[in-house]
Structure 1
Amino acid sequence: MRFFKVCGILGIINVENCNPIDQSLLVMMASSMTHRGPDGSGVWVQADGQCGLAHRRLAIVDLSEAGHQPMSTPDERVWLTFNGEIYNYTTLRKDMVARGYSFRSNSDTEVILYLYQEYGELFYEYLDGDFGLGLWDCEKRRLILIRDRAGVKPVYYTYVDGRLIFASEIKAILRYPSIDKSIDLTSFYHYLTFLVVPPPQTLVKGVYKLESASMMTLEPQKGYRPHFVKYWLPIPKVQAHRSFEEFDDELEFLFASSVKKRLMSDVPVGVLFSGGVDSTLNLCSFSKLISPEKVKTFTIGMDNAGSFHDDSTIAREMALRLCSDHHEMRINEADLLAAAEKLALLQDEPVSDPVSVPLYFVTKFAKERGVTVLQAGEGADELFCGYDNYRRFLRHHSFLWQPLSKLPCWLSHIGANILSYSNSPKSRKISDVLVRRAKGQKLFMSSAVAYYEMEKQRILAPELRHAIENLDSFNVVAPYYTKIQNECPNASFLQQLTFIELQLRLPELLLMRADKMAMANSVEVRVPFLDRDLMDFSMRVPDSYKLRNGVAKEPIKKLATKYVSKEDIYRPKTGFGVPIQQWFKGELGDALLDLLAEDFLDSASIFDRRQLEYQLKYGLRTVNEAFQLWVVYNFLVWQKELSCS
């Protein structure tokens, strides 16, 4: 029987002359991640005390000790702490056996160790999976940190007291006795735009996140200065000679293969189910491999939601037709407020997508019903142009942005200044667009933007506004534009948009909300749409294939109609969401005002309270304005937890 491990990893490396690493320190820091690995723990410290590794283990299949971590090669020269799953483990193991390696366990962790011995630093090229890992080579005194291609699993690191510390969660790093918990104001400024801090920074000064598809190496030959390799980029390589029918066949094969890789038939299989196209295709594909009544589906509904409509009714009806073992729970505003501080702590740093709330509750609900692995639909929209926002940006680029390029810069500035005084959210957005056009910037920053530049100036305290007056959040995405233009000079606007989304919003917002909320309940979320081969496939197809007949995500929808009716697939969908616009008009709004009034938070030095009170009282005309307040609320709750820790 093989192992499946979802875990928390931790390591400390002395990169300067320091006291030997204390094993008890590793144990104390790793204990903050017990939720990631409640089934066991392990610690190893090198004899001379230069390196120490720790591990928390959630074993979904086998609880024996054969796959215990940290794990070493038989000669104990190479040690590994690993979080995740390698889906091509079986093939790799056979290859390693053919090359003369003997295995002591059925663990994919051991395969990684032998791959490193065989191929050195290039071992990552052979891994197909979702993972974060830390590998220590005792002989070469080399540390390697790697995060998977899509960014499903997080890795954080910092330097303190002549040491490098890495972990699956920031909270483990913050357990280090002399760590500085100051807020990075530059990161905070960008957080207000992107709902999350862009990599490699975090909201905690001096603590960093490893970017998706990245490897960091530290070794004495380079003075223990970090060396980074970006080992995969979503660069378009369109195969224009192929027909749409050929692409359809390949998509069907690749998705079926992805689902099969992620299936473990000896544990209950769960699907996060909204009744929409992604979750329906997930469910139907799994049901082809095992009987549908063995597949548990989970959805969530909202009470006291006003005019907000969730998909729980549709999900219930679809699950009944597809014969899954369906489970539904409901939450309300009181549930959110009761869990708010806990959710902020679990996030490590604010991941301010309100969908985090239902994700936390529905994964907790699934865990209570014996499900430890859940399939989710993240990635389908990013890879196949599924969001309405994407099509909106495409229209704006053609009919607004390009015509604006003909305006002289001075006229754009005048128009922007006039519109900036408006209380209309739409006018302020147009003002921001005019300013960026005048600066020679690009239209797209992210499909999820909370506060644009001028809006941030309104809500920040005057002192902070002055301290960060030269910042501009477009500078976060400018290097992404440069990179794709260098790699693919003829990249279309949609291809550029996709490139940016796969570097920032997908790994740092969507995948981190899934990881943090699910792992808080010791549940693993798997994402079949982000399979390595499917991601490569999405880079090979033209824009016209993704937007066939002007329909968003048409290839996925067409594939889903092989299982259910067109009416089911092409209807409007809401998905997992939260009625925050309604909730901010009630107790959630009161909770925000209370947080702004708490002196120990020193929020007065960050926010202009009067502006936020005005927005709360008069500015809830649109869902986006409620999203903005959620970004503020989430930060304040997190800041409160940080100050108390």
Structure 2
Amino acid sequence: MCGICGVLSSTETPEPALIRDMLAALAHRGPDGSGYYRDEQVALGHTRLAIVDTAGGTQPMTGRSCFSSGAAEQVWVTFNGEIFNHVELAAELRSRGHVFDTRSDTEVIVHAWEEWGPACFERFNGQWALAVWDRRTRSLVLSRDRFGVRPLFYTRVAGQLLFASEVKALYASPDVPRELDPAGLDQVLTLWSAVAPRTVFREISQVPPGSYLTFREGREVEHRYWAPSFPPAGAEELTDLEANTEALRTTLMAATRLRFERSDVPVAAYLSGGIDSAVTAGAIAAIRSSSTPLHTFSLRFADAEFDEGGFQGLMAERLGTVHHDVVVRERDIADIFPEVVRHAESPLLRTAPAPMFLLSRLVREAGFKVVVTGEGADEVLGGYDIFREAKIRDLWLRDPAAAEAAVEQLYPWMHRSPNQAPAFARSFFSRNLSPDDLAMSHRPRWDSTAVLGSMLRPEIRELGGGAADGVVAAMPASATSWDPVARAQWLEMTTLLPGYILASQGDRMLMGNSVEGRFPFLDPHVAELAGRVPAGHKIHGLDEKHLLKRAFADLVPEEILRRPKQPYRAPDAAAFFAGGTPDWVADVTTASALEAAGVFRPELVQRLLEKARRTGGRGLGNTDNMRLVAVLSTQLLHSELLSGPAARAAAPPEPLTVFDTTLEPTGRTSAQP
């Protein structure tokens, strides 16, 4: 797990000062060292969080060549993430004549590229963002894992292509415009996140999940090597519930073992109090061979409405783990929020990433660099309310009375649940029903979120628009034959999962404290299996993640297995106004600050702030909570990342290793200035 960056120039040799500044901006992602490779056309940078082959895994990396010409060092790689099946791939490559100098998964990428070219990405079981510089063809390849666990951004300026793990590293170049993109903002304020390749920053793109981009001779070509897919409804081949239950257990146990054991540093686990992390932690406990106890980490809240401590303690006691937790108060969220937004590099609609940042800090302070978590289970195995809503909305088309009765089983955790207001529930679930609408499941969410756009200045609104239509247009033609739950899953895997769950709430909050997250539920074998089973195995009636519960009934206590579904939530407006308001709130919402950002209508912002002050942030409706967090986070994003001089760290992480062929054209030069 690391940070990567680089420059591909069509005009002049990349400057070492630029690559060093980019590395400095990524120091938090890789505090254990840094390095760069440079030749007359490209520079590749890397900051390292040493996890696999801590002694030999220095990057950027090349390897002994297996080319028939015998030419050495023709392929260079800078890599962020893990290739969990690198041991098996290395054995296969050795059988084909490749010689390895390290035990690192990075060197496996080098040789895999030599052997298979871009087809190697389909062979990787992992989470990655990487760059391959192939000197034979003078081509740069940027690749990202299937689900977008690891981020990768790029831009073109002044005859150069710049890429990096985070946008702040791109801003190390003064030529990159530091402005928000209205269309990207529209996506966030409708879909919760920008959808690749778009970002919220003008002229900055991101590599889409499951894709690789090839840059050669000024041309850019995108290739898709993976995308979520489902069989036609009623035509699934894996229809045996018992067989699918056993297959899921076997596959998920193998995925968890791979993510726990492929590390040269200790690995811990999250325990949220729900079934997903209970399964992954329980699987680790079942497969561990060491007598060293497993360390688990939980997030708790001082406000009982959000706290799940009882379930966390129950699972920790059952597993006999060394358990750690952090109790988050409302003011803790407010105090850390500017740092959270700086790491998230996106407007937020909820404060939920902030407690996750405090949790990863606890993990790092306890001496761990790696944690296994349960992210992805809801998306691949049908755990969200929106999937159950999809079933009800589909049923409403055929049998409104049965659908209305089913609504009563939803939202047991919600204080103001729609089932407590039957007229509202009927309006909510029966609105915009059409059997031809591939996004019928998501229309209510998108419609309710899109009202945030009313806060925008007219000129910003005019330049945005159409976020939902763009996503629906990108759905594959085969989606017309999918079950409604499968369609909803595709939409979640394309929007919320990579852009929010794995980014703002995942990678950024973990790597902000130099911690790597590993996600067994996003193993390609687990995802493939889950995609092939009938929707009724994932959501049986309205019992979410039914197949998962069956598969791990022996590992998870009944109290957790049968508890009502409760999504992870955190205090929103109350965090900023209930217990005193931090000074930064006033600073980023002054008339001059709002004018400088140029995003929101000042009179509407002031009206919203007055309402929040008057109520202490409590009792605000869902829409006002989202409005407030969106305004504060967007204003923070502007002040933290876009306005004023670019922030610079003093230097890249030490030691700094340099491979510079412009200094020694006849071979590799390694230096530590």
TM over 0.5: yes
Residues 333 and 355, structure 2, Cα contact 8 Å, conserved in 1: no
Aligned pairs, how many? Answer: 603
3-state SS of 1:550 partner: coil
Q: Does the CA-based 8 Å contact 1:86-1:108 persist in structure 2?
A: yes
Give 2:38's aligned residue. 45
Q: Which amino acid aligns with 2:487?
A: Q
| Residue 389 of structure 1, CA deviation | 2.5
Paired letter, 1:193: T
Match of 1:33 in 2: 26
Equivalent residue number for residue 460 of structure 1: 456
In the other structure, the counterpart of 2:670 is none
- Higher RCO by CA contacts (8 Å cutoff, separation 6 or greater): 2
Q: Which runs of 5+ in 2 are unaligned?
A: 65-71, 401-420, 647-673
Residue in structure 1 matched with residue 269 of structure 2 by the alignment: 271
Name the structure 1 match of 2:405: none
Counterpart residue identity of residue 641, structure 1: E
Structure 2 distance, partners of 1:599, 1:427, is 41
Q: Paired residue for 2:355, among 351, 355, 358? A: 358
1:180 partner SS = coil
- Please report how far the alpha carbon of residue 20 of structure 1 lies from its aligned counterpart in structure 2 after TM superposition: 1.2
Shift of 1:352: 4.2
Q: 1:10 aligned to 5, 9, 23, which one?
A: 5
**Residue 467 of structure 2: which of 464, 473, 498 is its match?**
473
The answer to whether the aligner puts 1:562 opposite 2:559 as a matched pair is no
**Match of 1:59, SS?**
coil
With 432-441 and 285-294 compared, the bigger mean Cα shift is at 432-441
Matched with 1:382 is 379
Q: Which amino acid aligns with 1:294?
A: P
Aligned to 2:300: 301
Percent identity for Structure 1 against Structure 2:
29
The residue aligned with 2:254 is 257
Provide closer, same or farther for how the CA distance between residues 286 and 313 of structure 1 changes in structure 2, counting only shifts above 3 A.
same
Report whether the alignment pairs 1:113 with 2:121. Answer: no
The AA in structure 2 aligned to 1:273 is L
Supply the AA of the counterpart residue of 1:611: L
Q: Deviations over 1:451-483 (max 9, x none)?
A: 544x23532234444x33x722222312233x1
| Pair 1:402–1:240, CA change in 2 (3 A) | same
1:82–1:131 contact (8 Å) kept in structure 2: yes
Q: 1:33 touches 1:169 (CA, 8 Å); kept in 2?
A: yes
CA distance in 2, matches of 1:339, 1:116: 42
* Cα distance, 1:472–1:442 mapped onto 2, change above 3 Å: same
Match status 1:175 vs 2:168:
no
Q: Give the TM-score, by structure 1 length.
A: 0.87
Verify: 1:231 aligned to 2:225, yes or no: yes
Bigger drift between 508-517 and 612-621 goes to 612-621
What is the rounded CA distance, in whole Å, between the counterparts of 2:595 and 2:61 in structure 1?
Answer: 45
Partner in structure 2 of residue 414 of structure 1 = none
The residue number in structure 1 matching 2:602 is 609
**Displacement after TM superposition at 1:153 (Å):** 0.7
SS in 1 for 2:256: helix
* Alpha-carbon separation, structure 2, partners of 1:50 and 1:446: 47
Q: CA deviation at 1:581?
A: 4.7
Structure 1 pair 385–441 and aligned structure 2 pair: CA distance change class (3 A) = closer
Measured in 2, the distance between the counterparts of 1:121 and 1:525 equals 26
Would the alpha carbon gap of residues 450 and 478 (structure 1) be closer, same or farther in structure 2, given more than 3 Å must change? closer
Q: CA deviation at 1:636?
A: 1.3
Determine the C-alpha separation between the residues in 2 that align with 1:285 and 1:627.
36
Provide the residue aligned with 2:62 in structure 1.
72
Q: Could you tell me whether the CA contact under 8 Å between 2:4 and 2:45 is conserved in 1? A: yes
Matched residue, 1:247: 244
Please give the residue correspondences for 1:364-403 in structure 2 after superposition, counting only pairs within 5 Å: 364-399=361-396
Q: Secondary structure at the match of 2:490?
A: helix
Aligned equivalents of 1:456, 1:388: Cα separation in 2 = 22
Q: How does 1:281-430 map to 2 (within 5 A)?
A: 281-290=279-288, 294-303=293-302, 305=303, 308-399=305-396
**Would the aligned equivalents of 1:269 and 1:371 in 2 still touch at CA under 8 Å?**
yes
The letter of the residue matching 2:295 is: K
Deviates further, 624-633 or 367-376: 624-633
Residue 433 of structure 1, CA deviation: 8.8
Return 5+ residue gaps in structure 1 as ranges: 1-5, 404-423
Cα RMSD (Å): 2.9
Deviations 1:518-563 (A, max 9, x none): 0011100000100010010011100111112431111111223112
SS of residue matched to 1:235: coil
Compute the displacement of 1:334 (Å). Answer: 2.3
Amino acid at match of 2:285: S
AA of the residue aligned to 1:28 = D
The answer as to 2:493 corresponding to 1:502 is yes
User: TM-score, length-normalised on structure 2?
Assistant: 0.84
